Chains A and B, each alone.
Chain A
Amino acid sequence: MSGRVEVTVEDCRAAAELLREKIADPHVREIVVRVRARSDRAAALEALREALSLNISKTVVVYVE
């Protein structure tokens, strides 16, 4: 297992849920999430802030499409 997950989700709520789940998963080392946000990247990042604040040990990359 490489420990890398890359997922595309339809909105920020789904992205936040995915982040929470994968951040808690000890087998995951890198999370790449693509968000098809309906708003701009600033709003998307604000929506993800709480979930991102849970992370201290994994590489997380967020794309906002």
Chain B
Amino acid sequence: MTAAPLDLSGLVQLVTDAHAARAAATGAAGVGAIASFLGTVRNVNRGRAVVSLDYEAYDALALKVFEQIADEVAREWPDAILGLHHRTGRLAVGEASVAIAAASPHRGAAFAACRYAIERVKQVAPIWKREQLADGECWVEGATVDPADERARQEALRLACV
């Protein structure tokens, strides 16, 4: 969690180095694929012009949830390593709110881990955004968090593997 602009290339380097270190320690295959995802502020939502988004988070819990998502990724794709950063504060249209990178020996797990992680962020991360619109402001309401909801996790897994 950070109020500073996100650095995707820095995150890619982090997961690359982490994967290389683990591969060197275990003798497993090294990095052959890195998938990355940036979520950015869109200029329109449900037909209304968006000026900016204010993100707030329960930072300490969000970090624990990110660790949980990384653990879930490790269970589903043991060869992959996930990196996940989210920004808070006021973001203008085009700025990145979330950055994800997944490193793996093969592309399938890298793409899937990345997609799975963003779906889980939207389901369970304690983060909120308020739209600053041309004509007012509005909290965005997504999922009611139920981290024990296995159906939600399975839905994220399904989306990751299509």
Q: Do A and B bind each other?
A: no
